[in-house]
A and B are shown apart, each in its own frame.
Chain A
Amino acid sequence: MATPSKDNILTVNELKKSFGGVHAVDGVSFEVPRGSITGLIGPNGAGKSTVVNSLSGFHPVDSGQVTLDGTNVTNWPSHKIAQQGLIRTFQIARELQRLTVFENLLLAPQVQPGATALEAIFSRRKIAAWESKTLGRAVALLKRFNLFEMRDEYAGNLSGGQKKLLDLARALMAAPRLVLLDEPMAGVNPTLAGDLQAHIRDLNREQGITFLLIEHNLGIVEALCNRVIVMAEGRILAEGSMSALRENKDVVNAYLGG
């Protein structure tokens, strides 16, 4: 049993979710320690994506409890969970095509003057002040992710790898407490994957951002995560460091291969 504690930013307790007769997630419990990069791996169909969607409020769970930084957020709608500080990315990068790279970032902050219709009409000066302040932050992030030159390009025109970078940059712009990365390296060339890996490590070290990383590239998982959770068939199979998991027979049989 996982119990919510101050050192865990996320606690998942006995999570269950079925689709029809399929128990996609069948009683999953784990924690994500604050300030960690925790890995979540497992074969296709293990239930990782269902866990991600349940944690981020994209579909309701059948039973179980999700506690985010001391708050029970089980079955909250996705926007409320995001407002609570859990920001997710998507397996297939979902850029907002007809918004520029800059606009993708400006969208992310939770509190924005002018985000309601009345403010949009009546407080234009406040909006301009906020935007000029926020642009600085956006510029810093874009430079960090090598997207600065593309800032005024429509996000739909970026390459696949750049879209992945934008997805991460946009998540960070929301000032998250926990970032849920759903296969950030999928479809990304090795050089860019190395860059992404470095970005994640640096953000974790410099800014203390906690990551839950769902990933098939085990080399990157090993390099980044001190703790890795293995899922198979809707359950947690094992937990520990990557090197310990490589010695674990169940894990080898279910996922790593012999």
Chain B
Amino acid sequence: MGAIIYYLLTLAIFFAIYSIYAWGLNIHFGLTGILDFTYITFVAIGAYFAGVAAMGHAQPMGMGGEYILGWNLPFPVSPVLGGIAAAILAALVGFVGLRRLRSDYLAITTVAVGQIVWLVVGNQTSLFNGWDGISGVPQPFNSSLFHLSYNQYQIPFLVICLIVAFIAWRVAESLTESPYGRILRAIREDEAVAAALGKDIFRYRMSAFIIGAIFAGVGGALTVEYIGAFNPSGWGVLETFIVWAAMLVGGQGNNRGMILGAFLVPVLFTEATRFITIPGHPLLMESIRGMAIGLLMVLVVRYRPQGVIPERKRVYRLNLISQETEDSAHGHAVEG
């Protein structure tokens, strides 16, 4: 397989995974207005748990280092476990943070939670092998079914990612376009009004927080099963803001916008520029990339705050069924 094709397939895989991330963060912030500055922590917890669940038992003094679980679980089970782990963390954070805190204080809380989890995972080596991280996570179905080389494995893994992304898309769209999504958007606009109409704010924000975290966890699981390794340098504070940039650029509140954002920011700016070399300091390209993403965010927030594809206006089509009684009308939602 040619290097270019291999590279494009890698980008396609990251595209699918980052779309899943962006849909999840969009449920947190774009729909519900929860300022979550530690989204990547849910990605990481999902990745770690899926990874160690898929790996075999840790060997004492062995090559793979120390880690928990080691259950040898097959593919569809391990990402589900990753999603559940992320959901549990979200429930814990939400229980502390979502009940009473205003959005800005909640944002601070999420940053603190991210730092705590990051430091604990790094220093408590018995969990996920500390700063060195886990490695040797088996590729889904490969040892049992495909028996492909690392290069050949790109295509089946892309198919797996696309299937998972398709399911995630359907779930995200169903939630966004339902009465549930309407209530979340109402809470985003004004909590007091939603409460005055009988909506339990805490319950809705909690459920949205957990669902968004499941997207993060499942995406993280795909990442670890693709790369095969995962350590704390892969999920610093900065990683959260790459997903944020994708969401803001794409258009918060719009799942199609999330796809565009995932393409523009993480894929085009971050991954596609990885192998561009320019003379000078070895880290120059990385710094330019960071500046470019920052500049892109500033431009979008200044000139197109709703993002490239803004939230869709819901228009209801009315088919008057009776001309005599003006009051009776039937209709259903159409995309506007």
A binds B: yes
Which A residues form the contact surface with B (CB < 8 A)?
Answer: 56-58, 77-80, 82-83, 87-90, 94-100, 102-103, 106-108, 110, 112-117, 119-121, 124, 127-128, 130-133, 135-136, 139-140, 143, 151-152, 154, 170, 174
Partner of A94, one of B179, B192, B313: B192
Interface code B193-213, partner A: CB below 8 Å = 1, 0 otherwise?
Answer: 111111111000001100100
A120 engages B315 (CB within 8 Å): no
Rounded to whole angstroms, the CA-CA distance of A183 and B10 in the bound complex is: 61
B182 engages A106 (CB within 8 Å): yes
Rounded to whole angstroms, the CA-CA distance of A112 and B193 in the bound complex is: 17
Interface code B54-74, partner A: CB below 8 Å = 1, 0 otherwise?
Answer: 000000000000000000000
Stretch in B130-138, B256-264, B325-333 touching the partner: B325-333
B315 engages A152 (CB within 8 Å): yes
> Which of B174, B179, B192, B199 lies at the interface centre, i.e. has the most chain A CB atoms within 10 A of its CB?
B179
Partner of A135, one of B182, B199, B331, B336: B331
Q: Using a CB-CB cutoff of 8 Å, which residues 165-195 of chain B contact chain A?
A: 171, 174-175, 178-183, 185-186, 188-190, 192-195
Rounded to whole angstroms, the CA-CA distance of A84 and B180 in the bound complex is: 21
Rounded to whole angstroms, the CA-CA distance of A140 and B198 in the bound complex is: 22
A108 engages B197 (CB within 8 Å): yes
Among residues of A, the one whose C-beta sits closest to the C-beta of B210 is A117
CB-defined A-B contacts under 8 Å, sample of 17: A79-B195, A79-B198, A82-B197, A87-B196, A88-B196, A90-B193, A96-B189, A98-B185, A102-B316, A107-B194, A114-B178, A114-B180, A120-B178, A120-B179, A127-B179, A154-B313, A174-B198
Residues of B within 8 A of A80 (CB): 198
- Told that A98-B188, A128-B333 touch, could you supply 19 new A-B pairs with CB distance under 8 A? A79-B195, A87-B198, A90-B192, A90-B196, A96-B190, A98-B185, A98-B189, A99-B186, A106-B179, A108-B197, A115-B180, A117-B180, A119-B180, A121-B175, A128-B332, A135-B316, A139-B318, A152-B316, A152-B336
Among residues of B, the one whose C-beta sits closest to the C-beta of A152 is B315
Closest beta carbon of chain B to A79's beta carbon, Å: 5
Which B residues form the contact surface with A (CB < 8 A)?
Answer: 171, 174-175, 178-183, 185-186, 188-190, 192-201, 207-208, 211, 253, 311, 313-316, 318, 326-333, 336
B326 engages A131 (CB within 8 Å): no
Partner of A174, one of B171, B181, B197, B327: B197
A56 engages B330 (CB within 8 Å): no
Closest beta carbon of chain A to B320's beta carbon, Å: 9
B318 engages A117 (CB within 8 Å): no
A121 engages B326 (CB within 8 Å): no
Partner of A139, one of B178, B194, B313, B329: B329
